[in-house]
């Protein structure tokens, strides 16, 4: 009797998986690992009352505002910008240089932020020039007293700062 001769077949190359097939396999593997991790968490924290992997946040974090860097590199423009920031942070008042709560009028804010009396005077003159482009007979106190909110005051301080910047003051 003759014995059949077995010939070893060459091993087949492993099939090449495309990207979608590999992603599906990895997603299944990750789902299994996440399920195991969830069970392990439950077992490890069973003795801790109210253990929650995603605790509910009771209140949002309070963010403290930081001062924006001055966009101007000229002294008067920087002063007018700082005066604007001062009114935004301390508040605006219209019938006094400064009220009891610390709010300031434009001239009061300029005086606080100025390095010298001359610099404050120059900034006030520049602000007055910008205001008088639209209100010919106005003074800073009379114009400020006629305003109903801080918005126009901040806008004119911005315009004065921009004017000082473009004229290199």
Predicted confidence pLDDT, tens digits, the chain (169 residues) = 566 666 666 677 777 888 888 899 999 999 999 999 988 888 887 766 665 555 555 566 666 666 667 888 899 999 999 999 999 999 999 888 998 999 999 999 999 999 999 999 999 999 999 999 999 999 999 999 999 999 999 999 999 999 999 999 8
CB count in 10 Å sphere of residue 26: 10
**Any residues with CB less than 8 A from the CB of 17 and at least 6 apart, and which?**
25
Q: Which of 122, 121, 139, 123 is nearest to 131 (CA)?
A: 139
Q: Which of 112, 79, 107, 76 is nearest to 93 (CA)?
A: 107
* The model's pTM: 0.60
At residue 17, the pLDDT reads 82
At residue 61, the pLDDT reads 63
Q: How many CA atoms lie within 13 A of 7 on its CB side?
A: 2
The alpha carbon dihedral of 76, 81, 87, 93 has a sign of positive
Q: Strand, coil or helix: what is 92? A: strand
The alpha carbon dihedral of 57, 59, 64, 68 has a sign of positive
At residue 70, the pLDDT reads 83
- pLDDT per position as a tens digit, 16-60: 888 888 899 999 999 999 999 988 888 887 766 665 555 555 566
At residue 28, the pLDDT reads 93
At residue 95, the pLDDT reads 85
At residue 94, the pLDDT reads 87
Q: Which of 109, 99, 87 is nearest to 154 (CA)?
A: 87
SS (HEC) of 94-132: CCCCECCCCCECHHHHHHHHCCCHHHHHHHHHHHHHHHH
């Amino acid at each position: 009797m003759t014995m059949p001769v077995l010939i070893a077949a060459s091993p087949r190359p492993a099939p090449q998986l495309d990207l979608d097939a590999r992603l599906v396999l990895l997603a299944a593997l990750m789902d299994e690992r996440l399920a195991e991790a969830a069970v392990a968490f439950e077992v490890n924290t069973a003795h801790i009352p109210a253990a929650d992997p995603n605790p509910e946040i009771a209140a949002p974090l309070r963010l403290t505002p930081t001062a924006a860097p001055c966009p101007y590199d000229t002294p008067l423009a920087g002063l007018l910008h700082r005066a604007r920031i001062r009114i935004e942070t301390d508040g605006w008042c219209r019938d006094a240089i400064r009220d009891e709560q610390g709010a300031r009028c434009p001239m009061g804010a300029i005086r606080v932020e100025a390095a010298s009396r001359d610099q404050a005077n120059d900034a006030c003159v520049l602000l007055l020039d910008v205001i008088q482009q639209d209100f010919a007979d106005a003074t800073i106190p009379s114009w400020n007293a006629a305003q109903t909110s801080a918005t126009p005051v901040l806008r004119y301080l911005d315009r004065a700062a921009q004017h000082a910047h473009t004229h290199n003051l």
